[in-house]
Structure 1
Amino acid sequence: MDTYLTSSAGSFKSTLIDQDLAHIARVMRPSMHGDLGGAILPAAYWRRRLLELLEAGHLTNSQLCAIDDLLLQLDDLCAKELLPLPVTTTRPAASRDANRHRVRGTR
């Protein structure tokens, strides 16, 4: 009987971990992009959640791979966040066309 209860509890815990990983995979990227005010939830929050899952023990191979993949995605998002915004040196086409028409009209 004890074996059944332990197995049942372990299965339930594994299901909760799977659900948590699916949730993190779904919302981590959008929450870090956030809005004009910045990230809704920072990288430190997601890293802490993933490391807590890693410490849960008795993880399946697929759960370990999912955590590893999410940590790599998090590192990638953090690296992209630190890159400077691209600087454009050319004017947009609409702006060039407007100036050309204005110059022709003044001649």
Structure 2
Amino acid sequence: MDHMLATLSGSSQAALIDRDIAHIARVMHVSLRGDFGGPILPPAYWRRRLNALLDAGHLSHAQLCKVDGLLLQLAHFEATPQPEWERFAPAVAAPFQPACAVETLHSA
């Protein structure tokens, strides 16, 4: 995205940055919550994306405020302890074995 920002006009850059910020705002929390296997994308990924926006420059005051708010949300997520069911979830779930298959294995 950085290379593309350098070649766009001012209004196109602002629109692209707005879309990127809106996308991150929509998916970051869902991605961090993930599933029982953990986050889909880790906090470091989102921090890199947000810092890349800041490093690109050309952000309006409103865009800076939105990125700052997302960074605060990310910091809050990292500082908040995970619920018990997420902390102790297995890294890889065991394959499901139907009860009849288990009984057959034990009786053999």
- TM-score, structure 2 normalization: 0.67
Q: Which runs of 4+ in 1 moved over 2 A?
A: 82-85
Q: Deviations over 1:9-49 (max 9, x none)?
A: 11101100000000000000000000011000000000000
Q: Whose RCO is larger (CA < 8 A, sep 6+)?
A: 2
What are the ranges of 5 or more consecutive residues in structure 1 without an aligned counterpart?
Answer: 1-7, 86-107
Larger helix proportion of the pair: 1
Larger radius of gyration: 1
- Give 1:84 shift: 6.6
Once the two structures are superposed, the pairs formed by residues 39-58 of structure 1 within 5 Å of their partners are 39-58=39-58
Query: Alignment identity in percent?
Result: 58
What are the ranges of 5 or more consecutive residues in structure 2 without an aligned counterpart?
Answer: 1-7, 85-108
- TM-score, structure 1 normalization: 0.68
Alignment length, in residue pairs?
A: 78
Q: Deviations over 1:56-100 (max 9, x none)?
A: 1121000000000000000011111x3574xxxxxxxxxxxxxxx
- Indicate the RMSD between aligned Cα atoms, in angstroms: 1.7
